[in-house]
Structure 1
Amino acid sequence: MSYDNYQNPDLAEGSGKEYLVFTLAEQEYGIDILKVQEIRGYDTQTVTRIANVPSFIKGVTNLRGVIVPIVDLRVRFNMQNVEYNHQTVVVILNLHERVVGIVVDGVSDVLVLQNSQISAAPSFGAAFSTEYLTGIGTLGERMLILVDIEKLMTSEEMALVDGAIA
């Protein structure tokens, strides 16, 4: 992914925030670009499955000597499983002294959203938890679900990953 031709006059204001945009089941999501270490193609052959972990944890992989847990966000978000294809990628995240990979359907671009383009996450009551959502970003007709990826990846369920690979 190249950012050479990426220019946004609003960025000069300093009030915008950059988000990596990825898709899951045709819905676009955004995460803080500063949490992203790298983007790699997803290869099921390089992921070692671990017994007795939740289904959303695909296993672990060795990334230049670092054991990295791999989480499938479709499964984590209770979405219908989609077959992995050439567009499926792993976004390697660097989160508070922890490296984690998330499997997503694809990565489209990096967008800068101003505070005025971000609305609060809607409340769905007890039926659906929105604790990992930071808001809804809008850019024209485009809507992004903004995810607090650090909060999601450091939740109680994710502590199971640490126990499994320790």
Structure 2
Amino acid sequence: MTQTTAATVTETADDIAAREFLAFTLGKEEYGIHILKVQELRGYEEPTRIANAPDFIKGVVNLRGIIVPIVDMRIKFHLGTPTYDQFTVVIILNINGRVVGMVVDSVSDVITLTPDQVKPAPEMGTALNTDYLIGLGTVDQRMLILVDIDKLMSSSEMGLIDSVAA
């Protein structure tokens, strides 16, 4: 008779959290990012524009003494002209110790996905380079485009963002 320990039966909180995604919308598409990357959610406020910054960097805001660059994901993904209303949300992210704000159309909920609910991203000419994708998550009739936010905020872009925040 084999004996199982509680450690082999139960999952750690980190294992569960690693499969939790914050769902948000950009246009008609629904995206998801790992919940552990999210520091907080804020309503949209007009950032202070920085000269010579790329279009997708809307500017910076002062968040409790920290200068936070704000990236508009609609502009970044070439999804048309962004509009800002009461549903527009800034997701404050902590990426490798850097704080960055990400403007999205709206945030819906936190979704837990099992490994079998995540499928590899198909290779196709989309606005979003598939290098930035973890895969596609499916829950009932919903499909989430799961974004690897660490890769998306790549070193060259983080350099641009850092120079704006400095």
Tell me which interval the TM-score lies in, with the shorter structure as reference length.
0.7 to 0.9
The amino acid that maps onto 2:136 is I
Distance of 2:126 and 2:111 partners within structure 1: 31
Q: Deviations over 1:116-164 (max 9, x none)?
A: 0000111126986211111000011100000011111234233212123
The structure with the largest alpha-carbon Rg is: 2
Q: How does 1:32-43 map to 2 (within 5 A)?
A: 32-43=34-45
Distance of 2:64 and 2:153 partners within structure 1: 21
Question: Which residue is 1:119 aligned to?
Answer: 119
Gaps of 5+ in 1: 1-11
Question: Which residue is 1:4 aligned to?
Answer: none
Distance of 2:63 and 2:110 partners within structure 1: 24
Distance of 2:80 and 2:128 partners within structure 1: 16
Distance of 1:82 and 1:70 partners within structure 2: 14
Distance of 2:84 and 2:126 partners within structure 1: 32
Q: Deviations over 1:32-69 (max 9, x none)?
A: 0000000000011xx11001111000000100000000
Q: CA 1:133/1:97 → structure 2, altered by over 3 Å: closer, same or farther?
A: same
Q: How does 1:57-72 map to 2 (within 5 A)?
A: 57-72=57-72
The amino acid that maps onto 1:163 is S
The equivalent position to 1:18 in structure 2, one of 4, 12, 20, is 20
Q: Deviations over 1:82-138 (max 9, x none)?
A: 310000010000111100000000100000000000001111269862111110000
Aligned pair count? 153
- Percent identity between matched residues is 58
Q: Which moved more, 1:32-41 or 1:127-136?
A: 127-136
| 1:105 matches 2:88 | no
The amino acid that maps onto 1:85 is D
Distance of 1:157 and 1:123 partners within structure 2: 23
Distance of 1:140 and 1:115 partners within structure 2: 15
Distance of 2:109 and 2:127 partners within structure 1: 31
Distance of 2:113 and 2:61 partners within structure 1: 33
3-state secondary structure, aligned to 1:131: helix
Q: TM-score, normalised to structure 2's length?
A: 0.86
Distance of 1:155 and 1:126 partners within structure 2: 22
Q: How does 1:40-79 map to 2 (within 5 A)?
A: 40-44=42-46, 47-79=47-79
